[in-house]
Amino acid sequence: MILTTIIEIFQAEANPALAIPMKAYMKNKFEYYGIKSPHRREISKSILKECKTLSRKETLNLAKKLYSQPQRELHYLALELLLQNFKNKLEKTDISWMEWFVINNSWWDTVDVVAPKLMAQYFKEFPQERNTKVEEWIASKNIWLIRSAILFQLKYKKETDLAFLFKLILLVSNTKEFFVNKAIGWILRENAKTHPLLITEFIETHQSKLSNLSVREGLKHIA
């Protein structure tokens, strides 16, 4: 019932003319209702409010159903629902469904929510799970799990485990995957705000192993 109601709400706000360029921007990987982000967030507010009382099982079930629909706007709502209902309520087994949301309907826009928000919170609450799980992602050959391994510390700032981050980067530095190399550059650039000397030293020491994209992005704001 909830899913049907949500779909009806989004369908009522659809704009086919906007859907065409939105779909093209995402390389035609997903369908769109054609609802721009500000309006989508406004529509989602009442839906999310209604969903606050859902149980863990109901939340995850609805999120997966939303994520299995073709329209990308519903995927965004699914992630917003997870962020709302699981905030500070994570359990040790939750990493499994986080992985599911990374490897299904994968693209940078959703992976970059799951990794720096949900996975980031998970590893803060269950640090003993971090090394084994993240190294498993690195070895998986799945570029989105690898991107998640690189980016889950994106918002950690001074809490970033730089030694672990550098280790992960060097494990995948020979990749030609754009989304992995872009993630490496992004995380280095972000950490340069708090550790400019250490980031500069790392890049200069390992420049021959890093892609030009990673180096350029990593040094972008270092004087």
| Cα–Cα distance for residue pair 50/48, rounded to 1 Å | 5
Q: Taking the mean position of all CA atoms in its chain, how far away is CA 125?
A: 18
Q: What is the pLDDT of residues 34-91, one digit of tens each?
A: 999 999 999 999 999 999 999 999 999 999 999 999 999 999 999 999 999 999 899 9
- By the 8 A CB rule, do 52 and 39 touch? no
**Domains (ranges, CATH) in the chain?**
1-89 (1.25.10.90)
Q: What are the φ and ψ backbone dihedral angles of 71, each rounded to 5 degrees?
A: -80, 130
| Cα–Cα distance for residue pair 77/46, rounded to 1 Å | 12
Q: Is the pTM of this model over 0.85?
A: yes
Residue of 131, 196, 118 whose CA lies nearest to 158: 196
Tokens 């769109």 correspond to: 32
Q: What is the pLDDT of residues 84-121, one digit of tens each?
A: 999 989 999 999 999 999 999 999 999 999 999 999 99
Q: Is pLDDT above 70 for 23?
A: yes
125's tokens: 């609450």
DSSP 8-state code for residue 115: I
